[in-house]
């Protein structure tokens, strides 16, 4: 295989990963790592470093479009980034010592759990409750446009539980370089009870900051290869831009199905690779 063919294949794979990451809020990195390490035999540490750069590209490509459309809850994202950033720093330093195969198995179980919860019906009467406590102080309640352009109001709940889950997501992001978008979406969608579209778009907004924190540590260790990062970043960025356009015109029910199917498949893959010590 020539270098040009290798680069083109990686670009196309990254294009699909970016599209997937943008639509579901996963960040794309969770697809990049298996692709590079299993399909191409690249050292897992370099795959993680490349994935972190790709995650930043995904977030940058999708977040701008989502903010422009008025879907992303910026205030909520910045508040929760405190937890994910701290977790990412801890996770990146633990990556040297922690058994990543065990973390991969645990993460796979969490993904399956989040897939089940993504179909759980929520009490919609809570949606328009008046803001209380820190939600009111930080002005976290907001609105988002539906497919017809109408503004829909929603309320944020249980910010303490969401904050803790974001800290866990940050640790996993630093350990595995996957962005932990699934946990972020789980925390916002099921614990904090905000609309799914807001969850995925705010997740994309947050993922870049979390990954950038981890990237500093991986860069210092020499695990970021520019030759790998270039095609992956370009592909993921292109896919993220396309995905952001599709999301604004799509139905939430369809996104939930895509989200659940994708993370279930990835969960099985993560558990298998963890059990066989491939990740």
The per-residue pLDDT for range 76-90, each reduced to its tens digit, is 888 888 888 888 888
The angle that helices 252-275 and 3-24 make with each other, rounded to 10 degrees, is: 130
- Under the banding of pLDDT at 50, 70 and 90, the label for residue 8 is very high
Report, as an integer, the average pLDDT of 51-64: 73
Report, as an integer, the average pLDDT of 61-78: 77
What pLDDT, on the 0 to 100 scale, is given for residue 124? 46
Q: How far apart are CA 122 and CA 160, in angstroms?
A: 19
Structural domain tally of the chain? Answer: 1
| Mean residue pLDDT across the chain | 77
User: Is the pLDDT assigned to residue 126 strictly greater than 50?
Assistant: no
Give the residue numbers spanning the domain of 233.
Answer: 3-275
Count other C-beta atoms under 10 Å from residue 161's C-beta.
13
In this structure, of 64-68, 86-90, 193-197, the range with the lowest mean pLDDT score is: 64-68
pTM equals: 0.67
Per the CB < 8 A criterion, the answer to whether 22 and 207 are in contact is no
Report, as an integer, the average pLDDT of 54-74: 74
Report the chain's terminal Cα–Cα distance, integer Å.
Answer: 25
- Cα-atom radius of gyration of the chain, to the nearest Å? 18
């Amino acid at each position: 295989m020539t270098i040009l063919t290798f680069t083109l294949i990686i670009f196309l794979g990254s294009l699909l990963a970016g599209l997937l990451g943008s639509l579901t809020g996963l960040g794309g990195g969770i697809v990049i790592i298996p692709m590079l390490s299993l399909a191409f035999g690249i050292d897992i540490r370099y795959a993680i470093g490349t994935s972190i750069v790709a995650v930043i590209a995904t977030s940058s490509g999708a977040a701008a479009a989502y903010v422009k459309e008025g879907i992303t809850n910026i205030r909520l994202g910045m508040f929760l980034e405190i937890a994910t950033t701290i977790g990412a720093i801890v996770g990146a330093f633990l990556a040297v010592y922690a058994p990543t195969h065990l973390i991969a198995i645990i993460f796979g179980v969490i993904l399956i759990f989040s897939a089940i919860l993504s179909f759980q019906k929520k009490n919609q009467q809570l949606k328009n409750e008046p803001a209380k406590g820190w939600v009111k102080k930080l002005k976290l309640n907001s609105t988002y446009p539906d497919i017809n352009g109408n503004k829909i109001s929603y309320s944020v709940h249980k910010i303490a539980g969401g904050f803790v889950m974001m800290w866990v997501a940050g640790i996993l992001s630093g350990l595995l370089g996957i962005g932990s978008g699934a946990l972020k979406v789980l925390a916002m969608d099921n614990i904090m009870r905000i609309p799914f579209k807001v969850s995925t778009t705010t997740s994309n907004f947050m993922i870049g900051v979390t990954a950038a924190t981890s990237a500093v540590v991986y860069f210092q260790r020499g695990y970021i290869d520019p030759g790998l990062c270039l095609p992956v970043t370009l592909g993921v960025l292109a896919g993220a831009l396309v995905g952001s356009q599709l999301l604004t015109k799509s139905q939430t029910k369809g996104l939930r199905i895509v989200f659940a199917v994708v993370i279930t498949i990835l969960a099985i893959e993560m558990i298998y690779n963890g059990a066989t010590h491939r990740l």
